[in-house]
Structure formats: structure tokens, C-alpha cells
Structure 1
Amino acid sequence: MAGISFLAGHRTWVLTGDSCTYALRLDSADVPVHVHWGPMLSAAEVVEVTEKTLPWWDGFNDPNEGLGELAEGGTRYWPPALQVRFADGARGLEWRYRDRAITGTHLRIAFTDRHYPLSVTLHYRLRGDVLERWAELSADIDVEVLRADSATWALPVSEDYRLSHVTGRWAAETQLRRTPVPHGETVFASRRGITSHHANPWVMVDDGTATERHGEVYGVALAWSGSWRLTTARSPTGRLTVSGGFGQDGVAHRVGPGRPLTTPVSAGLYTTGGFGAASRAWHAYVRRYVLPHPGELRPVLYNSWEATGFDVSEDGQLVLAERAAALGAELFVLDDGWFGARTGDHAGLGDWVVNRDRFPRGLKPLVTAVHELGLRFGLWVEPEMVNPDSDLYRAHPEWVLHHAHRRRSELRHQLVLNFARPDVAAWAHGWLDRLVGEHGIDFLKWDMNRPFGEAGWPGEADQDRLWVEHTRVVYALMDRLRAGHPGLRIESCAGGGGRVDLGMLARTDQVWTSDNTDALDRLRIQHGHGQLYPAGTMAAWVTDTPNFVTGRSVPLRFRFHVAMSGVLGLGGDILRWPEADLALARELVALYRDIRPVVQHGALYRLRPPVDDGVVALQYVLGDRAVVFAYRQAAHFNAPERPLRLDGLDPAQRYLDPDSGITHSGAVLLARGLPLGLPTGDFASTVVRLEQIRSDLSALHSPIQRYSCLDTPG
């Protein structure tokens, strides 16, 4: 049974999840050390593990090094997770156990330093098979904290280790990499003040033999949306740890009277069943414990950016909204250009008042008209940014991140506002609260189009604190807006997928995965995103062709099918679409709205990952329904099509494809596969619906045309 127990005679805590065990103990010096993380063990078996601690080999090699729950100090030469420096120059922490508290599935273990008035509380919270860990530091004197990771995770000694993670850049986010773990230290990080396009704060580790369906996988993910780092350390003794938290080299935290420090959550997950099981477990965790409204279905949205750019007006937006409603969209989003002197990206950011030249009557009439069409209304905002060419900057040049006597570097003609300043935070909440409340805004696309630069705060004694406080104020502002406007939903965007993480997902409903909407590239971007984050968080648009990022032309059906494996959105200039494309769009939006519960809330099975340019396939299963997506990227040598083996079905049941009327044995679909019937050629795709056959056939969904064909590009 899941829960937490304390073995007093061994000073050991045992945390039992749904199918795994985590254990730690206090050693003779009161240092909290790791005991076990992995398969289920009883209390007696955990005690047996604690008795297997090995002695030092010599004066240079400690086989138990790296087992500290927050490695630091003394003769512990492992990468430090906690570094403190006192006013007299002393460094390191000497642990003294104080007390413990267990509340349900939440464990707190409190320590003080043996000499200095510094307190550290370690937190552990079970969430199914995910263990959340974080730390709190407080002091009665001023203490400089050079590093404060949330946790050190020690993995069992293995013959080998392999690391899974994602890398990328703007328009090429979340590219999955799997590589052997090198000896020494490997650091994944962002120094940009945001999560970044270039890495994402999670890693998975296996012994090199795990597949999509088989093998043990360990995962660690950090719930933080500012600068961060994860460090893997592998020694010649065979030990491997993963340690991570907020912050970066050269930036210190200051703890003192009235200034505690709480680290973000570091979440750890152990699973068997390979990478597929690991992803499904992470998705279940995100839906159950992270997302604010996990039970909701994300609406089909239309965003006007690609149709109009900055050239927006009330009449023009209303025409687009009418066309979007006719296609089956449920949410209309007005993008950039509606405020201030915003006729391009060089001016206006910070002046969040409606541009009366473009909207003479304000936004309210447009919002009302959109609502009358049966659509929700959304708006693009970028609260953390300012153009130097703006009334706000001219009035408050001191509000931006900057250093005295140093130039202020502009990216995209903009600077970053210092949200750690109370006056900036109050200003931001004031205009956002009025905007949402006075206009009845249902949805905000919250963008952030540049990383930090010259991150200083002249006149502030502790300037480094802005690196943490900026992110925390963004969190608090979103939380406050949602509390004041319960119907408001938010999408996180940062030049695409630059701020996607568990911390941001705790106060937003979905994320803009990438500015790259090219369907072929999206197969790989969405593959990486789905390793940790569920499809219900993944905004995916159908835009025009040739694509504005890649210049590639892809058939409309293929573009739709790729976007339909996430949260479907429309982003093209639909006023210029020919009638045949509009008719196809209406059919595919209707199909998506039928399969949406399965896609957004179902379990994901990656059947054929995008490892080459052949067929890619994935499947979602929810209850007695399954949806299969298959995409042929490029055809070579007229190779015959192979049946697609499915997963996650009940072998004892039969499944109906309501579009073809064909029934299939679950056992056959699992063992032999589903014939896809993809036509020859490039950019062919299909969506197959399957439902368990029930005695009440009237309960089945009415057939919709099966969408499988090869379109002409364009």
C-alpha cells in the first residue's frame, strides 16, 4: 500500500509508491543518505540494503560517494547540490537532525547546522509513482547560498547507463537524443532566464537496453521556468547521480532573517515497461497533479496572426472569426497589433491600451460579436517585454533589466521588464486584470520573445535575486489572474517552445510547442515534447503552405493529421482557402472533435517513432476507444507496406473501425497488426478510429468518412 513509514531503529524512511519504493536514512553523522530507488521493497528488504554499505577502498575512492540526498561539503567530492558560505568565510554544512513530520504522503525532515543558525528542511511527497522533492533554507544570520539544488537522485549501480534528453533551438525544439552517459560531469542548463528552446529540464536514464516497450527507466524533471541546470555525474566506481535545481554559475542566493529560500520541485519517476511506460506515467502525473484543469477538453482555436500579421482591424478580425466558426473552431484569438503604436515589432510593447485607429470602438464590440458566433475570445499579450519606443519605457527606463554604466542590448527591438520590482508587478497585474475583466477575455496567449540580458537591478542590495523572483512573480501573477477570473485559460509561449516545463504547466492550460508549424518538422518536435508532456498540453496549428519557416509545401490533409495528434488549432489565411480546402477542413475539424477526448486524455503509444523518413505512427487509447495516426514522410523503392502492430488494446475484445465497418480481433491487432492502406507516395497519412464492440450498437459513433489519401501539395 502506498505511504510513508519510519524505521526508528534504523533511522530510515521508506516511501512506497504505487509500484516503486524510495528509501533514505540518517548515517552516524546525521547526514541524510540515499538507500534505494526502484522496484518495490518491503521494510525488511530496505533494512537489508542499508547493511550493504561498503567501506572505503583507500584514501581517494569512496564507493558510497554521491549518496547524499543533497551532496555537499567535507570529503564529499561529488558535484555539490548545496553550497553555502557564511560571513566569516566558513563553507559547507554539518548536518544535525532536528525532527520529522509525516502528513499523508508528505514527509518533512528538518535539520540545522551544528554551529551556525542555518536550517534546512527536506521535503518528499508521493504522487502515485512520482516522488516530488524540494528543500527549504532559512537562517537567523546572512548566508550566501552559492548553489541550492532541489534534490540529488542516486541511481542503482549498473553495467552501463544511457541518457535520454532533448536539445534544440528556435523552430527546432525538443529534438530527442539518446547517448551513453560519459564519465565525469555532464550539465544541461539554461542561463537565459527562461526554460529555453535549447534544452528542457528533464532527463531519463536506462542501462542502454530499454526500448519503447521493455526495460527499466529512471526520470528526473524540474518544475521551473527560469534559469536551471541538471548535472549528471558518473564516477569510475560506477555511481551515477542526477542533481538539479534553479540558478546558474555566478548567481548566488542570499538567505537571512525574513528571507527564506524554497527550491522548486524536482520530480523523480521509476518505471518498467520501457520509454513508452515512462512517458505514460509522466503524462498521468501531469494530468492528475500539475495541470489546473486537467479534465477539460482544449478547444479548437483559430489564431489570426498568419492571416493578418500586424495589420488588424475590427472588421477584418470579425470576418476571420465568422469563417473560423463555420469551420468548427471554438476559440478565436486576436494576435499581435491590437494595442499602442504596434504596427510592427519595433514599437508599442508596454503600452497595453487599445489602438483606437484600428479599433475605434475599442475591443468590446469585437469580443461581443465573437461571443455571439458561439466562440470564446482570446488575446495575445507579452507582459514581460517593452520596446524602447514606447510610452512606458520613456516614463520608466529604470524598470528594465540593466546594469549601471552598461549598454542595454535589444533583441527583437525589445528589453525585459524586471518583474522582481514590486512596482512593475503591480503595474502588470493592474492592466491585465482590467483587460480581462472589462472585455470578457476567455484566453490569453502569454508570449515572451527574448531571454534575459544585462540582468541587473541598480540600487538593489541583492541584485541576483531577480533571477528567481522574476519567475516567481510571473507565477504569482498568473495564479492571481486565474483566481480573479476563474474562466480564464492561458497558453504559454516564448518565441515558440521556449518556456515549456512542469512549473509553467501548473498555471497554464497548454503551451505553444514551436513557431515551426511545418508538419514534417512537427513530427519530430512533437515526438520530443511527448516524452514527458501529454498531448493535451501541445498546441498544434494547421497553417498555410509553403510554410513560412521551411518553405516546404505539404498537403492539407497531412498538415491536419499531424496537428490533430495534439491540441488542434487553425492558423492560416482561411479567407484565401479554396472551397475544396474549406470543405476538407470542416470534415477534419469535425473528426478531431470526435476523437479529441481520446487524444487529449488518452494513453500514448509510440508505434513507429520518427527515426528516419519512413512511416511514423502513434496511438491513443482511452477506455474502449483507440485512435491511430500514421504518416508516410517519404516513399522509397516502392517498398511494400507493413501492417502496424498496435498496443494498449484488450486482446480478448473485438474492435470496430466505424469508418470502414471492418471489425478486428484485439489479439490480432496486437500480434499481427493493422493494415493501414496508405497510398503510395510522399506525405500520405491516415487516422483510424477503433471502438470495442458492444451489444448496444446504437451507442457507437456514426460513421465519418475514413481520411486516408494522398493530396497534391498546396
Structure 2
Amino acid sequence: MGILINKSENIFSLQSKNTSYVFGVDSEGLLRNLYWGSKIQDIEDFDMPILTEVSTNDPVYEITREEYPVYGSLRYKEHCLKVTFSDKSRELVYKYSGYDINDDELIIKLKDSYYDFNINLHYKVYEQYDLIERYVSIKNNSNDIIEIEKIHSGQFHIPYEGLNFSNVHGHWGAEQQRFIQKVNYGKIVIENRRGISTHNHNPYFILDKDATETTGEVFFGALKLSGNFSGIIEQTQYGETLVQMGINSHDFLMELKPKEEFVTPAIIAGYSNSGFEIMTHNLHNFAKDNILRKGLRPVLYNSWEATEFKVSCDEQIKLAEKAKEIGAELFVVDDGWFGERHGIDNGLGDWYVNRDKFPDGLDPLIKKVKDMDMMFGIWVEPEMVNPLSQLYKEHPEWIYHFETRESDTSRGQYVLNVTKKEVKEFIYNMLDNLLSTYDIDYIKWDANRPMSQTDIEKDIWYKHIEAIYDIVRELKIKHPNVLFEACASGGGRIDYGILGIFDDFWTSDNTDAYDRLFIQDSYSYIYPIKAMRAWVTDCPNFLSKRVIPMKFRYHSAMMGTLGVGCNILKFNEDEIKLSQELIKEYKEIRHIIQEGDFYRIENTSKNNYSIYQYNKDGESLLFVFLPQSLIGHRGTNIKLRGLENNSKYIIRINGEELIKSGDYLMNRGLEIKLSGDYASDIIKINKI
């Protein structure tokens, strides 16, 4: 079992395959972290150090490495929980009151010393993946309301200073740009305050001690929450670094009613002593095995860039026929099929088929798509409404608003208050009716603006995304074969909270194949390749104005779940033939890409190669990109990863076949040289 307990000392050890996470209860009843790192088998080795004050200005509460610090007493550090009781007391004083074990989950029970208020810390061990899951449940056993002002899901202690913190920054069209920041004195805060999504930061932390892909210590955690999150990273004055993550306390207040319980979103966390690669594999494998829907993702064609809002049945049928010709398996009609939707200013909320565009409804198009043995998908933006829509005219009270203020429009739309029972039911019923009426296999769910004027209830920021989760969960129960894609004006909703509720992530509206190499690289550190939608689109690219050869565009998009968004009606014979060849190739190798192990390979050349590897059951792929050949036009030496030392492998490259041993390929490596600008290649390596 992954949970060890020294009952006489009240010390607990969470044991995974290669790691240990240890904490215990001290003589004051405080829960203190003792260790997080490589596996230590014997729990008897741990004892509870006695803490002494540095001075009266450095009290014990400040120095104590508390598992879950609360507001009150001589604590001036970051706290995870702050409440106000009915008598207006704002101090928590917790005492340890025991533990429970349910299978592979440990529950530490804390109780306030005066009020009838329980705090339960939950720890679930995933031994095989070297991961632990942490969350907190709080329960109001009193007869009065307790106000929750702040609640984070957990705090982690790392016994080092001078660590490197990495996350992503960005904005629309430039999401998932990885940055590395040295942790020093002061606090690093990452957060979202927009409610709907954020393109700026992502709800995870990576802290490393000068790690590389394959060496060094890495501590990491990903929060299972879409919407308003916060993460705090702080190097303390006492020789350690701490991390907290949870619901953002910005404009947040939640009433915990009598006998009511609240459960926080969880954090999936882990440790690697062998660099970022192990972190990535553990998270990817956990997601593929435990979160994501089983089965390979289909090759998608989306009509947006071909038609934008000028949707018509005849034009969509022509696109579907051409999509089938090049090898697509799923045809998706994007925005513009419903209501008076001729641009961004109208239609949202009026989810009926536009009869001018589809005189006989969607059935003729869907029948044509199905007759060609393709799946059918459709775009929706259910959380939004346009002021000009019929829905808004009938229900102006359904949006987030203040009675005395004019509500903001952004992209010509309001945000519906999904926390209202009637609004939530409207969205569910609308989608259920759509899925029940038509033979739809795929829903692309978009959200194109942040929230504002969120009314008087300050827990709406959190309840909004919970309502969205609920709607999709219920729809998938009734329509279990429908795939859902999370899109938020691009890559705003990429997180472990929505992963598994939705099946695909739209990674970015930026479909430039060169830019996508950076976006996809950053994404890969935490999130599984199987959920990463990537499209081939037309050139010049609408955003970068860059012209990139089609082969490079396909290879870049083939690194994830392949989609095509070009106006394929304008393809010439060569473009159709190349598309057919590359889509056929993708179908032959996608099981390796979507379900295999992913490696970011070091480039040893002065030329700016980008190199990635995928392994699955003796099959390997190398994706090699050279966006621009620099002076010297050098090749690169590629040392492969994850092969078997004593096995032989056949390498197919440049129309030739080589046979090499696994230890040769991993230690000596392959000499690869690409020529020209926007050169790319996929090299296949198979165990003999």
C-alpha cells in the first residue's frame, strides 16, 4: 500500500514507486511537512524536530512548515484558509483529530478548537505514476453561516532556495510561451481573474534545481480548475520555498451554510530526480490512463477559415466532399450556421438552424457527411448571448450585470449567468435537443470573452465553471459517444480541471506552423499530446502573414491530433495529392503520437533544429524541423531516448534503411542534415 503510518509518532508517509511525501503532527497539534523527494522506505527514520523561535519577531508559527496554514495567531505568512464565523471572529485554531484511510486515500482530520468546523486534508496516492493528488474538504457542522474568504487546495514545501520556476505567459494568438524565472526573496504570483479563461498563465507550477530534460530535481503540480485560480511561489527567510495553489481569492466570498460541505479542486503533484522528461511522462501517462476518453482521435476538417460566417448547405457539402477526398474522418461546421449569425453581432443565444443557409435544416448536410463515412461536428458558444438576439430580448436578466450599471460587451456579446438554474437548464436543453435531433459526433465549445459585472454573489467566479462542468458531464451521460472540444478564444481553457470533461483542447487560434512548434513544446511539459488539436491552415497565415510550405505545415500539425482548416476547394492537384499522402501517413502513425511517450530532444547544432520523439511498443518516430538554415548549414546529431539498449532497430530515412542497436542510437546517435528553409522530416524507427 502507498500509505505508511507511524502511529506512535503520528507521522504519515505517502509512498509511490520512486518517491516519498512525509508529514506529521507535532506536540502542538500542528500538521508539519517533513520531506518530499526520492523514496525513503523506512518511516521509522523520520521524527518530529522541535522548533524554537529565532526571536519574538520570528515566532514558531512563521517557521513551522505547515501542511495547511490557516489565518490566525502569530502567522503572517501566506495562508490557505481564511474564514469569518457568525460572531465575526476571523481566526482559525485547528487541532489534529485523527485520520481515515479509504483504499489509496489518506484523510487527515482537523477541527477548530472552539467552533464546530472541520477541515479534512485529502491525499490520494497514484503509485504507478509517482503522483499524489491533494484536495481539501471543509464542513460547517454549526447552525450558523460561515463565510469563506480564501481557500487554497494545498501548500507544498521544498527544502531549497534559488530554484527555477517555470510556467507560461502569453495572450490571444500567443499562448503557451514558456518562461523560466529564478525564485528569490519576495513572491511570485500567477493567476487568472477573468472567470471564463486565461491565455496569460496556466494553473500549474514547475520548480527545478537547475534540471535538464534528463537530470536534476523537479517538483511540480497542476491544479484541476478552469477559471479563476491563483498560485503563489515564495522563497522564505528560513531556507525553503513554498507553493500554494487554489481558487483565486480575488473578489471571492463563499457562504458555507449550516451542515454544508465544500470540496476544493484537486492538485496533481509529483517529484522527479531525473529532470523534466520523467515529470512529463508521469503526467501524460496518468492523463491517458485515468482521465482521457479511450480511443484514437479522428482526423478533423473544420470549415471556419474556408467560409467564416458565410455558411451555406451547398458550400459545406462541397467542403465535406473535398475533405473526404483528402482523408478527413470528421467534418466540423464552425460558426455561422444558426440564428441571424452573419457576423459577431447577432445570433448567439438563438440556437435554431438558419433556414436561408440551410433550407431543409442540417439533415441534408449530415446525411451527405455520414454517407461518405465521416463523423459530423458543429460549433457552439453556449455561455454567450448577443444583445441583438431574440434570447436577450426575452431574458435580459439572464446575463451577468449590476442593476445600476451598463453591462460591458466584448466581441459584441454578454456572458450568460450560468449559475442561474433556468440558464443552466436552457443551455443543457438546447444542446441535448441539438444532439437528440441531429446525428452529431463532435461539439466544438467556444468561449470568446471574459466575465464582468458578476452580480453581488462573489462565488460566481467559481460556480460558473462548475456549472459548465455539470452541463457537459450530464450531456455525456445521455450522449456517451459525442466528443467535446474545449476552445476559449484559442487556448484559454487548457487545464486539468476541464481535461476529461472535454476530450480535446484547441491549443491556439495561432495556426502558423512555425509559431505552433513553440506553443506545442510548452504545452507538452504538462498536458497530454492526445488532447492537443493542431490544424493545417492556408498561407499566408492570417496572423503571422508567413508563407510556409505545406509539408512543414502538415508535419507541425501531425505532432498532435491532426486537423485541417484550409479552404480545400482552392487546392490544386499537387496540394490534394500531398494532403492525401500525409493524412494517410498520419493515420498509420497516430497511435504512436497520441498514445506513446513524448520526448523533447536536445539539439546539438548551431542550426535551430526542433526535434521531438514518440515511442510506443517498439515503434519510434522522430519529428525534425529546420525553420531556417543558418550560415554553415550544419546538421545535427540526434541521441534518441527510451530505446532498449540491446535491441536492434531499423531506421527508415531518405528512402534508405539502416540497422543500429538501441545503445548506439541513444549514445552515438543519428546524424541528420536538413537543407533550406522550412525543412522537415518524420523518421520512423522500429524494433526488429
Scaled by the length of structure 1, the TM-score of the pair is 0.93
Q: Secondary structure at the match of 1:131?
A: strand
Task: Report what 1:90 is aligned to.
Answer: 89
Q: Secondary structure at the match of 2:458?
A: helix
Task: Report what 1:466 is aligned to.
Answer: 460
Counterparts of 1:672 and 1:97 in 2: how far apart (Å)? 56
Show the 5 A alignment for 1:468-487.
Answer: 468-487=462-481
Task: Report what 2:67 is aligned to.
Answer: 69
Task: Report what 1:661 is aligned to.
Answer: 657
Q: Aligned in 2, Cα 1:343/1:613: closer, same or farther, shift over 3 Å? A: farther
Task: Report what 1:196 is aligned to.
Answer: 198
Does the 8 Å contact 2:205/2:220 carry over to 1?
A: yes
Task: Report what 1:336 is aligned to.
Answer: 335
Correspondent of 2:54 among 54, 57, 67 = 57
Correspondent of 1:147 among 150, 161, 185 = 150
CA deviation after TM superposition for structure 1 residue 290, in Å = 2.1
Counterparts of 1:109 and 1:612 in 2: how far apart (Å)? 53
Show the 5 A alignment for 1:684-695.
Answer: 684-693=679-688
1:501 aligns with 2:495: yes
Counterparts of 1:677 and 1:285 in 2: how far apart (Å)? 36
1:165 aligns with 2:159: no
Q: Aligned in 2, Cα 1:572/1:612: closer, same or farther, shift over 3 Å? A: farther
Task: Report what 1:618 is aligned to.
Answer: 612
Task: Report what 2:383 is aligned to.
Answer: 384
Counterparts of 2:629 and 2:49 in 1: how far apart (Å)? 56
* 1:368-418 CA-partner distances (Å, limit 9, x unpaired): 211111100000011100001100001111111111211111110011001
Residue-pair matches, total: 680
Does the 8 Å contact 1:608/1:615 carry over to 2?
A: no
Q: Read off the aligned partner of 1:147 and give its amino acid letter.
A: K
Does the 8 Å contact 1:166/1:200 carry over to 2?
A: yes
Does the 8 Å contact 1:25/1:33 carry over to 2?
A: yes
Does the 8 Å contact 1:631/1:685 carry over to 2?
A: yes
1:518 aligns with 2:512: yes
Counterparts of 1:167 and 1:318 in 2: how far apart (Å)? 40
Does the 8 Å contact 2:161/2:241 carry over to 1?
A: no
Counterparts of 2:521 and 2:589 in 1: how far apart (Å)? 19
Counterparts of 2:530 and 2:471 in 1: how far apart (Å)? 23
Counterparts of 1:9 and 1:211 in 2: how far apart (Å)? 41
Q: Secondary structure at the match of 2:172?
A: coil
CA deviation after TM superposition for structure 1 residue 56, in Å = 2.0
Does the 8 Å contact 1:195/1:228 carry over to 2?
A: no
CA deviation after TM superposition for structure 1 residue 500, in Å = 0.6
Q: Secondary structure at the match of 1:150?
A: strand
Task: Report what 2:103 is aligned to.
Answer: 104
CA deviation after TM superposition for structure 1 residue 297, in Å = 0.5
Does the 8 Å contact 1:66/1:154 carry over to 2?
A: no
* 1:182-201 CA-partner distances (Å, limit 9, x unpaired): 21221100000034100000
Does the 8 Å contact 1:29/1:95 carry over to 2?
A: no
Q: Secondary structure at the match of 1:464?
A: coil
Show the 5 A alignment for 1:355-434.
Answer: 355-434=354-433
Show the 5 A alignment for 1:545-624.
Answer: 545-608=539-602, 614-624=608-618
1:300 aligns with 2:285: no
Does the 8 Å contact 2:161/2:184 carry over to 1?
A: no
Counterparts of 1:195 and 1:392 in 2: how far apart (Å)? 24
* 1:432-475 CA-partner distances (Å, limit 9, x unpaired): 00101110110000100011111115xxxxx1121111111100
Q: Secondary structure at the match of 2:637?
A: coil
Counterparts of 2:504 and 2:50 in 1: how far apart (Å)? 46
Counterparts of 1:660 and 1:429 in 2: how far apart (Å)? 55
CA deviation after TM superposition for structure 1 residue 580, in Å = 0.4
Q: Read off the aligned partner of 2:150 and give its amino acid letter.
A: R
* 1:591-646 CA-partner distances (Å, limit 9, x unpaired): 11111011111111101379997110010111100000010011111332122111
Q: Read off the aligned partner of 2:41 and give its amino acid letter.
A: S
Counterparts of 1:134 and 1:206 in 2: how far apart (Å)? 23
Aligned-pair Cα RMSD in Å:
1.6
* 1:673-712 CA-partner distances (Å, limit 9, x unpaired): 112241x22110000011001xxxxxxxxxxxxxxxxxxx
Does the 8 Å contact 2:151/2:249 carry over to 1?
A: no
The alignment-based identity, stated in percent, is 36
Task: Report what 1:277 is aligned to.
Answer: 278
Does the 8 Å contact 2:605/2:636 carry over to 1?
A: no
CA deviation after TM superposition for structure 1 residue 66, in Å = 5.4
Q: Secondary structure at the match of 1:9?
A: coil
Show the 5 A alignment for 1:317-328.
Answer: 317-328=316-327
Q: Secondary structure at the match of 1:503?
A: coil
Counterparts of 1:611 and 1:599 in 2: how far apart (Å)? 25
CA deviation after TM superposition for structure 1 residue 660, in Å = 2.4
Q: Aligned in 2, Cα 1:173/1:646: closer, same or farther, shift over 3 Å? A: same
Does the 8 Å contact 2:169/2:201 carry over to 1?
A: yes
Does the 8 Å contact 1:226/1:467 carry over to 2?
A: yes
Does the 8 Å contact 1:386/1:417 carry over to 2?
A: yes
Does the 8 Å contact 2:603/2:637 carry over to 1?
A: no
CA deviation after TM superposition for structure 1 residue 65, in Å = 2.5
1:135 aligns with 2:136: yes
Q: Read off the aligned partner of 1:666 and give its amino acid letter.
A: G
Does the 8 Å contact 1:643/1:676 carry over to 2?
A: yes
Does the 8 Å contact 1:493/1:499 carry over to 2?
A: yes
Task: Report what 1:683 is aligned to.
Answer: 678
Task: Report what 1:489 is aligned to.
Answer: 483
Counterparts of 1:66 and 1:523 in 2: how far apart (Å)? 44
Counterparts of 1:665 and 1:265 in 2: how far apart (Å)? 43
Counterparts of 2:94 and 2:168 in 1: how far apart (Å)? 36
Show the 5 A alignment for 1:169-188.
Answer: 169-188=171-190
Counterparts of 1:610 and 1:423 in 2: how far apart (Å)? 59
Counterparts of 2:606 and 2:564 in 1: how far apart (Å)? 28
Q: Secondary structure at the match of 1:662?
A: strand
Q: Which moved more, 1:19-28 or 1:520-529?
A: 19-28
Does the 8 Å contact 1:186/1:231 carry over to 2?
A: yes
Task: Report what 1:543 is aligned to.
Answer: 537
Q: Secondary structure at the match of 2:498?
A: helix
Q: Which moved more, 1:348-357 or 1:268-277?
A: 268-277
Counterparts of 2:540 and 2:235 in 1: how far apart (Å)? 46
Task: Report what 2:667 is aligned to.
Answer: 671
Structure 1 segments unaligned to the other structure (5+ residues): 458-462, 694-714
1:246 aligns with 2:247: yes
* 1:454-510 CA-partner distances (Å, limit 9, x unpaired): 1115xxxxx112111111110010100000011111010000100110011021111
Q: Aligned in 2, Cα 1:337/1:426: closer, same or farther, shift over 3 Å? A: same
Counterparts of 2:605 and 2:401 in 1: how far apart (Å)? 44
CA deviation after TM superposition for structure 1 residue 152, in Å = 0.5
Structure 2 segments unaligned to the other structure (5+ residues): none
* 1:561-592 CA-partner distances (Å, limit 9, x unpaired): 11111111000000101110110110000111
Correspondent of 1:628 among 622, 629, 637 = 622
CA deviation after TM superposition for structure 1 residue 50, in Å = 2.9
Counterparts of 1:612 and 1:489 in 2: how far apart (Å)? 43
Counterparts of 1:10 and 1:249 in 2: how far apart (Å)? 39
Counterparts of 1:235 and 1:66 in 2: how far apart (Å)? 11
Counterparts of 2:212 and 2:190 in 1: how far apart (Å)? 23
Counterparts of 1:71 and 1:343 in 2: how far apart (Å)? 53
Q: Aligned in 2, Cα 1:96/1:474: closer, same or farther, shift over 3 Å? A: same
1:216 aligns with 2:217: yes
